[in-house]
A and B are shown apart, each in its own frame.
Chain A
Amino acid sequence: MPENSVSADLQTESHKMVEWTDFERDTIQDIFSRIEYDVVGPAALARCLVVYPWTQRYFGGFGNLYNAAAIKGNPMVSKHGTTILHGLDRAVKNMDDIKNTYAELSVLHSEKLHVDPDNFKLLADCLTIVVAAQLGNEFTGEVQAAFQKFLAVVVSSLGRQYH
């Protein structure tokens, strides 16, 4: 488990399906119907690049990432943040088969982008913190648990095709 992240590790034996309670399903649908993708996505990615600066290694072509202000104002970071959130949509709409939903993206991140899968957990933690700020007191412990479980499944699926 990477030093900096606390997102739960999930076992991903191929015969095990992730089981979701009604509360968890409703919570995930609710969160994603309420957040603004083009606010939360850019904020989460920018925060990740500031809080865990070594993640900038994957964004060499993004121009000025010199300091927090530059990162927050960088249009390529914003655009990619929004892209990531829309990518999460696929899992929101296919909660019973996230593993297969992300098979192709997993191959892409591994074979083409060469992203260390530990980085997914760092971004997941930043996303949790940004969504917490958005939802305020409605981001209860139970909601946080559901959200982190969802992100852990996503992270696990994205790392699955690495070899």
Chain B
Amino acid sequence: MSLSDKDKAAVVALWGKIGKSADVIGNDALSRMIVVYPETKTYFSHWPDLAPGSPHIKAHGKKVMGGIALAVTKIDDLKAGLFDLSEQHAYKLRVDPSNFKILNHCILVVISIMFPKEFTPEAHVSLDKFLSGVALALAERYR
């Protein structure tokens, strides 16, 4: 299910509209993920405060969305473009890749809430494919 030219154009266009809200999206998506999928808390046991919108979550959401923004610029070759991030996730962070899908879903929910008009079914399918591609690229170096 690789990205067609139409998908790439749709993702770049959508990011053009939502990109400046990346920090807010990241904060809400992560806060939401921790509530909806409590098993994901296991990765954040080193944070004292896991309340939605806490400083740790805000900062981390910003970091994650920075990665997504990078991925948008590397949309023509996600595997190469996200190589370093993949190495980091594989050897340092060791997040089970099933969690990428979970966070992706939460990102989509937040975008649906914040940008209901822009997040049409056509935009949704392209963004879902893109985020799945990002997840795949992030898992590339795992084994």
Contacts and interface: CB of A to CB of B under 8 A. Distances in A.
A145 to B, nearest CB: 4
Given A141-B36, A144-B35, A144-B109, A6 B101 contact: yes
Q: Main SS of the interface on chain B? A: helix
Nearest to A43: B121
Interface in B25-60: 31-32, 34-37, 52
A128 interface: yes
Nearest to B125: A51
Per DSSP, chain A at the interface is helix
Contacts of A50: 121-122, 124-125
Interface in B114-143: 116, 119-122, 124-125, 128, 132
Interface string A35-73: 000000000001100110100000000000000100110
A81 to B, nearest CB: 12
A6 B108 CA distance: 12
Contacts of A140: 32, 35
Interface bracket on A: 20 to 34
Contacts of A3: 101
B113 A142 contact: no
Nearest to B108: A129
B121 A68 contact: yes
A26 B79 CA distance: 45
Interface in A77-122: none
B84 to A, nearest CB: 26
Contact of A128 (B34, B109, B119, B125): B109
Interface of A: 3-4, 6, 8, 46-47, 50-51, 53, 68, 71-72, 125, 128-130, 132-133, 135-137, 139-142, 144-145, 148
The 9 closest A-B pairs by CB, nearest first: A141-B35, A50-B121, A133-B116, A141-B32, A6-B105, A51-B125, A145-B36, A47-B121, A132-B112
25 contacts: A4-B101, A4-B128, A4-B132, A6-B37, A6-B102, A6-B105, A50-B124, A51-B125, A51-B128, A68-B121, A72-B121, A125-B105, A129-B109, A132-B109, A132-B112, A133-B112, A136-B113, A136-B116, A137-B113, A141-B31, A141-B32, A141-B34, A141-B35, A141-B52, A145-B36
